[in-house]
Structure 1
Amino acid sequence: MKEFATLDKAIELAQQGYAVYPLIDNTKKPPKGVAGYQAATSDQNTIFAWFKKHPTYNLGLRLDLSDLLVVDVDMHEPTKNGRTSLVQLFKQGQTLPSDTHIEGTANGGLHYFLKYAGAKVRKVDVWPGIDLLSDFTVIAPSEINGKPYEPLDGRTLADIKPAPQWLVDKLAGQKVNWTSEYACTTHQKKYTGRLLDEMVTGTTQGNRNDWLTKMIGRLFVTGAEPETVYELACSINERFIDQPLETKEVTTIYNSILKREMKRFERNSIRNSRIAG
């Protein structure tokens, strides 16, 4: 990345009225002392102070203040290929405007930028490999592991097109399903289903410790192995908490609950042995 390219882009966006914020270089995390997207601003003095001292910082864009929506198309896993999901949507006549501003992401995905004035959302895997974001996003010229976010076809935020009506309906909670081959069988939602729904909904910065504590406790209730619970806890923290906790904090919470669960297991074992005897 060219030195001060991020600063130049941040100032350019601020001049256009967009609110931006810094992210630690090579990550999607804000630096210490910056409250993530909630600290986003178009004040050029603040932006200059952020990026002049750290020219290799990545750049975040606050979406809700500008009535923007990002359709985040990922290809992290074979079973969650966002481009395959786009093809399935296309077959149903549900397409995204190809002439809107689109950025290639560092992991080979796509960010479709659209105009959207609805309520703030952050919905993960609305379709396999496709997230819908209207709160914040990483934007070019950010880089992850040397791979850049970059605009396609020379378009800019000035080229953003309105979100199609079918997508607005989806965000408003109206029914927009896959064809029958992708439909899920309707059944009563069980404990694990409710847990997964709550997990994906996530939480905000002010409630993250209590929320993650509850999630870890409920994961233990499923009977999963402790190693599985820890791996899921780390993943939940990274993906579903607005401004994730430090890993050491996640570990501290996990160890505390693990200790509690072990004591409970010991008490139940003693009680059961007495009953059996």
Structure 2
Amino acid sequence: MEEFSSLYAALDLVESGYEIYPLSANTKTPPKGHHGYLEATRDQNIIVDWFQNNPDYNLGLRLDTSHLLVVDVDIHDSAKNGKDSLMRLQRQGKTISSDTYIEKTAGGGLHYFFKYTGDKVRKVDNWPGIDLLTDFTVIAPSEVDGTAYAPLSGRTLADIKPAPNWLVDELSTNNLNGASEYAYTTRLKKYTGRLIDELVSGTSSGNRNVWLTKVTGQLFASGADPENVYRLVQMVNDNFVDYPLPENEVTKIYNSILKKEVKRIGRSPVRN
């Protein structure tokens, strides 16, 4: 990636009314101390400060405040090939328009961008290999593993078309691959699924300490390695707590729960 290309792209985006946020170089994750899409902004002074000090940062786009939907089509898993799912949808009369703004992703998939004003949702594998994103996404000219996200056919965000009606209906109902969400949940969801749902749902400033203490205990109860628990708690705090706790508070919560684990099964604290 050329030096400052993310900065130039970010300034172009905010001039068009979009909100952006930084990602660590060559990754999809926020830099340490940043809070992902929750700190997305149009403030050019903040953006210049981010990217002048870190010209290799990748670029994230907040979708809900930009009134956008991304259909994320992955092809790296042969058992869940998103292009195969697109073909099946097309045979059902459900077409994902190819005349909108599209980016090729670093993994070789495609991001279809559409205008969308409905509820904020994030449906992973709504169809095999296809995610529906209305909260946040990585955007060009970001690079992952040395491969850049790039627009197809020289298009720009000015080419974005409205989301097709059938897709808006898909996002505004409780259907999941044709089954009711309740039926899906009661049939398939186990402890790990419920825990993931709670982590991603996050919390607000009113009960941050209590909530993070509870989910830290749940992560330990899952049997995860203490080091992985600590990393995940940090990530959850940075991305799903509004507003995130200071790092020393997160560490204090972690150590408190870990001490109970030490008494229970003999683990040793790993954080100072």
TM-score (norm 2): 0.76
After superposition, residues 185-200 of structure 1 pair within 5 angstroms as 189=186, 192-193=189-190, 195-196=192-193, 199-200=196-197
CA deviation map 1:227-255 (0-9, x unaligned) = 7x99899899979x836999x97x97996
Corresponding residue number in structure 2 for 1:213: 216
CA distance in 1, matches of 2:94, 2:263: 49
Please tell me whether residue 204 in structure 1 is matched to residue 198 in structure 2: no
By how many angstroms is 1:53 displaced?
1.4
CA deviation map 1:56-105 (0-9, x unaligned) = 11001111111101111123422222222212211211111110101111
CA distance in 2, matches of 1:231, 1:75: 28
Corresponding residue number in structure 2 for 1:271: none
After superposition, residues 98-247 of structure 1 pair within 5 angstroms as 98-173=98-173, 175=175, 177=177, 189=186, 192-193=189-190, 195-196=192-193, 199-200=196-197, 202-204=200-202, 209-210=212-213, 212-213=215-216, 215-216=218-219, 219-220=222-223, 242=239
Length, aligned pairs only: 252
By how many angstroms is 1:121 displaced?
1.1
Please tell me whether residue 15 in structure 1 is matched to residue 12 in structure 2: no
CA distance in 1, matches of 2:80, 2:164: 23
By how many angstroms is 1:19 displaced?
0.9
Corresponding residue number in structure 1 for 2:86: 86
Worse-superposed segment, 154-163 or 192-201? 192-201
CA contact (8 A) 2:126 2:176 kept: no
Identity over aligned pairs, percent? 47
By how many angstroms is 1:259 displaced?
5.1
CA distance in 1, matches of 2:6, 2:50: 10
Please tell me whether residue 24 in structure 1 is matched to residue 24 in structure 2: yes
By how many angstroms is 1:213 displaced?
2.8
Aligned-residue Cα RMSD (Å) equals 3.8
Q: Which amino acid aligns with 1:27?
A: T
By how many angstroms is 1:122 displaced?
1.6
Please tell me whether residue 71 in structure 1 is matched to residue 68 in structure 2: no
Three-state SS of the structure 2 residue aligned to 1:166 is helix
Three-state SS of the structure 2 residue aligned to 1:65 is coil
CA deviation map 1:8-31 (0-9, x unaligned) = 111111111111111110111222
After superposition, the Cα gap between the structure-2 partners of 1:257 and 1:29, relative to the gap in structure 1 and judged at 3 Å, is farther
CA deviation map 1:111-140 (0-9, x unaligned) = 111111011112211112211111111100
- Structure showing greater radius of gyration is 1
TM-score (norm 1): 0.74
After superposition, the Cα gap between the structure-2 partners of 1:17 and 1:191, relative to the gap in structure 1 and judged at 3 Å, is closer
